[in-house]
Amino acid sequence: MNAEQTNLKNLRLEDIAASHQKAVSKLKRRIILCGGTGCIANGSMQVRDALVAEIKKAGLDVEIELKHGDLEHAPFEGTYVSKSGCQGFCQMGPLLRIEPEGLFYCHVKLEDVSEIVAKTLATGEIIDRLVYVDPATQKHCPHESEVPFYNLQQRVVLKDCTIEPENIAEYIARKGYFGARKAVLEMKPEEICQLFIDSGLRGRGGAGFPTGLKWKFTLASKSDKKYVVCNGDEGDPGAFMDRSVMEGNPHSVIEGMMIAARAIGADEGVVYVRAEYPLAVQRMVRAVEDAEKYGLLGDNLFGSDFSFRVRIMEGAGAFVCGEETALLASVEGKRGMPMPKPPFPAQKGLYGKPTVINNVETLASVPYIMREGAAKYREVGTEKSPGTKTFALTGHVANTGLIEVPFGATLRDIVYKIGGGVTDNAGKVTGQDFKSVQIGGPSGGCLTPEMLDWPLDFDSLASAGAIVGSGGLVVMNQQTCMVRIARFFMRFTQNESCGKCVPCREGTKQMLSLLDDIIEGRATAETLELLEQTAKAVQLGSLCALGKTAPNPVLSTLRYFREEYDAHVFHKHCPTGECKALAKPEIVADKCKGCTMCARKCPVSAIAGKVKEPHVIDQAKCIKCGACKTACKFGAVVGI
């Protein structure tokens, strides 16, 4: 250990926080570029580099790293250009904030940089074309607090994702690690478990099991060694909540693990992250290294006899490794396959030792509860589902992105207020085009227009045949075929089945085959009956949660959209026209101008007609390729 590391370990949390707060207070201006995966992919870091160069060109002092921990030197007093984690409004990225003015710019590109420096930074002028415009009211919103997407949320877990994720002092300045210190120095393990039982925090990975109760069970298991495992194996299509937390506020996850470790008597932790999340891996590794430098991980933490270390492990991307026993097998170097329970991980987990497994969002909620108390946490949410939940809002909705709302919020508020309304296939807000939301990913179910005002919580969703899951929300408009949606998720789970148990391995394959029969016009009434029977058998007989929940999209669409299945099976017709095998393209005589364009584009010469007279499609020859519809400028081709 060198002298610098020794000095860092001797600093009190209060000293680090005060030093950082002083440094921030001396800044002339701070510019924050969104550094989440989405905005980085759209060029936000290139924008940052260009900003730094342009500010230097203007003769101003600029830094991209704010020094901390040095209590003797004068703070930097120029412009600090930093990055953040995912700021949530992915639809509008790259995002840029300017403090202390509180300005919020969207879709910032390299060509905007010189104007930002020359106008906004030099004179305070707001650049209107970079300001968010509310499509519903056409109101310009130069400040984040005016943007409906943000001001209708209630952020707890995501609140600090605007800080520099690779600056540990900034996290400490937000009272980071104060909760861990309190847990280590002021509380007994039994008291910590009871605090979280009282808080009502439930697992955010899908099952919703009470966190404090899980910790209490693990504490009761006698062993010379215990582990805390963070489940960052987020594999649901359309879900990116855990990734964003690890990228944006990795220290909250580490602190949550420290508190969990103190509660159960563990001295070692593992963060299991998907290898497809390289930025999350990078920032988690950096966070662990920095926490070790500051003496926040290692031996005799805060001068006590409590020791705790964390290591990061990259998973190979198997969806089934989201299941806790399969994840543990993967950590041990085995093939990721689930094991029967009991024994539960709390009794016999990693390397046969008692283990607590919590997902990223659950652990990121822990420091807040430790600092603020159970009663404060229960001020939002519902009685049985307190607190907030992050959701990845995607699909046919105007404002896609990462949101956080209290449990009990309605689907209507999320889709129409935060989400800005449902869009058609061309991306335009239509107002009344909502058909369904798939919640919980491949393990979840569909919610219908009749459920728009239902409170979203663990219990109400269970009664609808759906689950909160990890938090994916895929909005669908009226042009969406629900049978194809069920097939999409079934194909995913069938591909991801580990194959260990027969009901899941063979049952998902059979359900996929039956769904193929339905959308390709081969199905009969017996097909529907067999599909439902197979789904229920897989649900009852599968070994792990992947198989038990795999039929949910099928069963929920059968329950709420039976008429679409009937149309496919009995009338050989897809109401939305998405199933090409059931398409019946026709030319509307009143709209056809006889331009012959469709006939010229048809690859099989299935269209006949004279110039300036309505044309006709020969159904026997038609291969339903859609070339005629694409070619027609008058919207005369329908049914495909």
Q: Are residues 87 and 124 in the same domain?
A: yes
Kindly state whether residues 309 and 393 are assigned to the same domain.
no
Q: Which of 86, 87, 97, 101 is nearest to 150 (CA)?
A: 87
Q: Tens of pLDDT along 477-522?
A: 998 999 999 999 999 999 988 888 999 999 999 999 999 999 999 9
Q: pLDDT at residue 112 above 60?
A: yes
Question: Which pLDDT belongs to residue 5?
Answer: 53
Q: Is residue 162 part of a domain?
A: no
**Domain containing residue 613: CATH number:** 3.30.70.20
Domain boundary among 331, 349, 377: 377
> For 343-362, what is each residue's pLDDT tens digit?
999 999 999 999 999 999 99
Q: Residue range 283-295: average pLDDT? A: 96
Amino acid at 154: Q
Are 241 and 85 spatial neighbours (Cβ–Cβ below 8 Å)?
Answer: no
Phi then psi dihedrals of residue 68, to 5 deg = -145, 165
Burial of 611 (0-12, 13-18, 19+ CB in 10 A): exposed
Q: Given a cut of 50, is residue 410 above it in pLDDT?
A: yes
- Contact by Cβ (8 Å): 126, 112: no
Range of the domain at 470: 388-480
CA dist., res. 236 & res. 219, Å (int): 31
The residues, any chain, with a CB within 8 Å of residue 573's CB and separated by 6 or more, are 567, 582, 584
Q: Are residues 77 and 211 in the same domain?
A: no
Residue 69: predicted pLDDT: 45
The backbone torsions φ and ψ at residue 326, rounded to the nearest 5 degrees and listed phi first, read -70, -40
What pLDDT does 242 receive? 93
The pLDDT of 42-65, averaged and rounded, is 93
Buried b (16+ CB within 10 A) or exposed e, 499-512: ebbebbbbbbebbb
Task: Decide if pLDDT at 83 tops 50.
Answer: yes
The pLDDT mean for the chain works out to 91
Do 321 and 411 lie in one domain? The reply is: no
Question: Does residue 471 lie in a domain region?
Answer: yes
Q: What angle do CA 401, 404, 407 make, to 5 degrees?
A: 135
Per-residue pLDDT reduced to its tens digit, 116-134: 999 999 999 999 999 999 8
CATH of the domain at 303: 3.40.50.11540
Does 473 share its domain with 529? no
Digit-coded pLDDT (tens) for 223-238 = 999 999 999 998 888 7
Cα–Cα dist 6/94, whole Å: 39
- Amino acid letter, residue 216: K
In a domain, 575, yes or no: no
Domain end point (choices 480, 510, 538): 480
The CATH number given to whatever domain includes residue 497 is 1.20.1440.230
Q: How far apart are CA 206 and CA 635, in angstroms?
A: 45
Report the C-alpha gap between 441 and 491 in whole angstroms: 13
CATH number of the domain encompassing residue 37: 3.40.30.10
Q: Which two tokens stand for residue 397?
A: 């909705």
Cross-strand partners of 210: 202
pLDDT of 68 higher than 60 = no
Whether the CB-CB separation of 447 and 437 falls below 8 Å is answered with: yes
Q: Are residues 330 and 459 in the same domain?
A: no
Flag whether pLDDT at 3 surpasses 60: no
Q: Which residues of 38-64 are buried (b: 16+ CB within 10 A; e: fewer)?
A: bbbebbbbebbebbbebbeeeeeebeb
pLDDT > 90 fraction of the chain, expressed in percent and rounded:
73
Number of domains composing the chain: 5
The Cα 599–Cα 615 span in angstroms is 8
Assess if residue 538 is contained within a domain.
yes
From 148, 177, 203, give the residue that closes a domain. Answer: 148
Q: Which helix (H) or strand (E) holds 79?
A: strand 79-84
Domain annotation covers residue 339: yes
Of 143, 135, 156, nearest in space to 91 by CA: 135
Interval 563-599: pLDDT, tens: 999 999 999 989 888 898 888 888 999 999 999 999 9
* Separation CA 438–CA 557 (nearest Å): 10
366-390: pLDDT as tens digits: 999 999 999 999 999 999 999 999 9
Contact of 69 with 290, CB cutoff 8 Å: no
| Phi, psi values for residue 499, rounded to 5° | 85, 5
Which neighbouring-strand residues pair with 183? none
Residue 156 maps to a domain: no
- pLDDT confidence tier of residue 71, bands split at 50, 70 and 90: very low
Q: Output the pLDDT for position 215.
A: 98
Is there a single domain that holds both residue 246 and residue 332? yes
- Greater model confidence, 1 or 10: 10
Cα separation of 300 and 304, whole Å? 5
Q: Are 374 and 266 in contact (CB under 8 A)?
A: no
Q: Which residue has the higher pLDDT, 559 or 8?
A: 559
Same domain for 472 and 490, yes or no, is: no
Is the pLDDT at 7 greater than 80, yes or no? no
In Å, what is the CA distance from 300 to each residue of 9, 184, 224, 374, 392?
Answer: 11, 10, 18, 28, 39
80 & 96 share domain: yes
Q: Which of 85, 39, 64, 44 is nearest to 280 (CA)?
A: 85
- Per the model's pLDDT, the better-predicted residue between 110 and 234 turns out to be 110
| Residue 196 and residue 226 share a domain | yes
Residue 607 has pLDDT above 80, yes or no: yes
Q: Are residues 140 and 279 in the same domain?
A: no
In a domain, 17, yes or no: yes
- Model confidence over 245-275: pLDDT tens digits? 999 999 999 999 999 999 999 999 999 999 9
**Residue 340: band (very low, low, confident or very high) from pLDDT cuts 50, 70, 90:** confident
Q: How does pLDDT run across 299-324, given as a tens digit for each residue?
A: 999 999 999 999 999 998 788 888 89
In degrees and rounded to multiples of 5, residue 518 shows phi and psi of -70, -45
User: Are residues 56 and 192 both part of a single domain?
Assistant: no
What is the predicted pLDDT for the residue at 256? Answer: 98
Query: What percent of the chain stands above pLDDT 70?
Result: 97
Q: Specify if 157 maps to a domain.
A: no
Quote the pLDDT of residue 238: 78
- Give the C-alpha separation, 66 to 172, whole Å: 14
